[in-house]
Amino acid sequence: MSSGVTTIGAWGYRPRRHRVAATDKHVQSRWTPGPGAASPSPAAQDWELFTGTDRLHGTLSQVAHPLGLVVFAQGDHGGSNGSRIHFVADVLHDYGFATLLVDLLTAGDVARRRNDYEVARMGERLCAAVSWLRADDGLATLRVGLLGTGIGSAAALNVAADHPSWVDAAVSRGGRPDLAAPRLGQVQAPTLFIVGGRDREVLRLNRNAQQRMHCATRLEVVPGATHQFEEPGALETVAHLAGSWFASHLRGAVRL
């Protein structure tokens, strides 16, 4: 089940707060309470997980009465520290989601310059992170969404295919789902693809990937946006599209 839609500034659910990206290169934010919104700032804590020889670092942010938890799969080393990804996470907090931002690649991984190797390593580490979340007493009941960027989208879709009961929704932002081509047909989690309208090659790859899938999918094209969504308003649109998608598929659902 799939559809291709061009959308900008139209979201199915209102966040608890309204947050605006002020600039394209250096993302800042401001917020004004929406109707009935009074949720406090999320409680952020350093997060660390040892998996064999790997040591994963990240930030776990929890909100009051979370609707679910979104794990970010960034396609670059150190991506969890970037202001742009923190802006997207803050918007998801405003929608009522806890988030886990974790570095899934090391400098050594990136130095190899092999997408297949990086996707495999990211998938292993993302799997370990989600497994940990499922075992945590305070988080295990929450529905889980994955948000992948770049090659991180392929890693997220591989994990969704390998562990369908673990992943309840997925979002690919400017991603490379083609790198998960052999597994796309096994993904069961509803999947949203977000691509910039001027990112023509990646748009082609995402359309082809969508056609391989049998689950609920949607392709959103942000008009005038390039690969990094650096144009004014583009990143805000991405964040709200993701927030609305997760709200549609994770809202009100609790694991038993």
Structural domains in the chain, sorted by start: 4-8+48-250 (3.40.50.1820)
Q: What is the pLDDT of residues 109-119, one digit of tens each?
A: 666 657 777 88
**Binning pLDDT at 50, 70 and 90, where does residue 35 land?**
very low
What confidence tens digit (pLDDT) does each residue in 78-128 have? 555 578 899 999 999 999 999 999 888 876 666 665 777 788 889 999 999
Q: 3-class secondary structure for the chain?
A: CCCEEECCCCCCCCCCEEEEECCCCCCCEEEEECCCCCCCCCEEEEEEEEECCEEEEEEEEECCCCCEEEEEECCCCCHHHCHHHHHHHHHHHHHCEEEEEECCCCHHHHHHCCHHHHHHHHHHHHHHHHHHHHHCCCCCCECEEEEEECCHHHHHHHHHHHCCCCCCEEEEECCCHHHHHHHHHHCCCCEEEEEECCCHHHHHHHHHHHHHCCCCEEEEEECCCCCCCCCCCHHHHHHHHHHHHHHHHHCCCECC
Q: What is the pTM of this model?
A: 0.83
- For the chain, percent of residues with pLDDT exceeding 90: 61
